[in-house]
Chains A and B, each alone.
Chain A
Amino acid sequence: MENIGIVFALLGAALAALMAGIGSAIGVGMAGEAAAGVVTEDPQKFGKVLILQLLPGTQGIYGLLIAFMTLTQIGILGGDASVSFAKGLLYFAACLPMAFVGLWSAVRQARAAVSGIALVAKRPDQMGKSMIFAAMVETYAILALLVSILSIFGIAGLSL
């Protein structure tokens, strides 16, 4: 039980990668289906809809980043891998914003991207606007990423 701290920290890292990754997989898949629907009718729109399809993919990258930073901080990727119970719990909590916001924002961003793809299908000249609508959702994934990053670096400096 003396290593329980690192278990919680690793669980947090895994959750961040797992949930944000699931969200992005769902999102990119959903937007991909819509993109394929448009390209079936008009193959020339491939380039435009591809950009919109990729937008919900960023959360997975953020999740990976948080997981990687946590693993580095707790010494799993090299160094001393001893983490106190309190610190382990703190790392776990620090990963949660990215895990949950990553999952949910990717799914919601995908819906905005699907709508954007439909907009591009009808009005190709409105590509910029359709990207902005979907990109708005990204704000909240970035905020969650920031909170997780600041927390992870902050925990390292604590003497617990």
Chain B
Amino acid sequence: MAEQYTYAVARIHAKEMTLLDRQDMEQVLACDNYDEALKILYDKGFGDGEAFLSSEELLSYETQKTWNVISELVDDMSLFDVFLYANDFHNLKAAVKSVVTNSDIDGLFIRNATVEPEKIYEAVKNREFNEIPKHMREAAENSLKVLLKTGDGQECDIIIDKASLEAIRDAGRKSGNKMIDGYSELMVALSDIKAAVRACKLNKSLEFLKRLLAKCDTLDIDLLTNAASKNIDDIYEYLYLTKYSGAVEKLKISMSEFEKWCDNLIIDYIKEQKSNHFSIAPLAAYILARENEIKAVRIVLSGKQNNLDNSAVRERLRDFYV
């Protein structure tokens, strides 16, 4: 029942008031240096008065803060698996590579995930794939086998990335929520377009592309694969026929413009949740809005650290949820 989230949604809507908007970000941008920018962020509630050694530490604290709030409000966190699977598969990739190269695992893993990274590492190391969730097993086994046999890191990445997208799409379908389902579809479709364009620019074969792209509902993967195996104009021609036609103009400019367009598309997609008061969707939207906010802060802070021109930083900023 949607009403079971009434408290949670009301609290999240109240919390949205503390999200940074473009005006706040302009204020941070207007600072003379990195330290001043940090001070403004602290004043706006970032870090909760704690001391941090680096901006990355501050931002991971903020990410954790979001998940702490959500876990306080929702009993069944599996509803949000769709947002965490990418981290799980990143950890799997790191585990497979460190097992094969016998390297140190310190600092390799992302903490916000559905499975303990050490558990994945141990499972891969001991070849006990039953210890990790079902949707990761095949990818873990195959990527390890490929990396041990060929030493081809790219092939290992392809196996895991595709499995990650398939798991995300599947989690979206299973969530039973239209917004989360739609988000997973959007994620997979946009990742497919990005991967197809990159592979096309590297003149990858049709066989390679077939192993690269994950199935989704809004793109015909066979057509996209065929187009990508020919040339970039064929991809554009195909994309014009889909709901992602807006991507073409951005792709013609640059990949970073396309990535910005993707992020804005997702923010645009979740914006309607601001006026939804009765389902899990506004909570999911808040997670994405916080991710977007943290990404924006990272862009601004790294701009300040590297003394970049404000207009260059401003160009890279995405739309805001509030």
Residues of A within 8 A of B (CB): 30, 33-38, 40-42, 111, 114-115, 117-118, 121-122
Chain A's nearest CB lies how many Å from the CB of B118?
34
Chain B's nearest CB lies how many Å from the CB of A35?
7
Q: How many A-B residue pairs have CB under 8 A?
A: 56
Question: Which residues of A have CB within 8 Å of B3?
Answer: 30
Question: Which residues of B have CB within 8 Å of A121?
Answer: 10, 13-14, 17
In the docked arrangement, what's the CA distance between A138 and B280, Å?
28
In the docked arrangement, what's the CA distance between A118 and B278, Å?
11
> CB < 8 Å: which of A36, A41, A42, A114 contacts B277?
A114
Chain B's nearest CB lies how many Å from the CB of A32?
9
Are the CB atoms of B277 and A115 closer together than 8 Å?
A: yes
* B8 interface contact, C-beta 8 A: yes
Nearest first, the 4 A-B pairs at minimum CB distance are A37-B10, A37-B11, A41-B14, A34-B10
> CB < 8 Å: which of B6, B15, B17, B275 contacts A34?
B6
B1-32: CB near A (< 8 Å → 1, else 0) gives 00100111111111111000000000000000
Question: Which residues of B have CB within 8 Å of A115?
Answer: 275, 277
Centre residue among B7, B16, B17 by max chain A CB count within 10 A: B7
Kindly state the interface size class of chain B when it binds its partner: 10 to 19
Chain B's nearest CB lies how many Å from the CB of A124?
10
Chain A's nearest CB lies how many Å from the CB of B17?
6
CB<8 Å pairs between A and B, sample of 18: A30-B3, A30-B6, A34-B7, A34-B9, A35-B10, A36-B10, A37-B7, A37-B8, A37-B11, A37-B12, A38-B10, A111-B277, A114-B277, A115-B275, A118-B9, A118-B277, A122-B13, A122-B14
Chain A's nearest CB lies how many Å from the CB of B60?
23
In the docked arrangement, what's the CA distance between A32 and B2, Å?
16
In the docked arrangement, what's the CA distance between A40 and B10, Å?
10
Within 8 A of A (CB), among B151-179: none
Question: Which residues of B have CB within 8 Å of A41?
Answer: 11, 14-15, 17
Centre residue among B6, B13, B277 by max chain A CB count within 10 A: B6
In the docked arrangement, what's the CA distance between A35 and B14, Å?
10
In the docked arrangement, what's the CA distance between A20 and B50, Å?
51
Beyond the given A37-B11, A111-B278, please list 20 additional residue pairs across the A-B interface where CB-CB is below 8 A: A33-B6, A34-B6, A34-B7, A34-B10, A35-B10, A36-B10, A37-B7, A37-B8, A37-B13, A38-B11, A40-B11, A41-B11, A41-B15, A41-B17, A42-B14, A111-B277, A115-B277, A121-B13, A121-B14, A122-B13
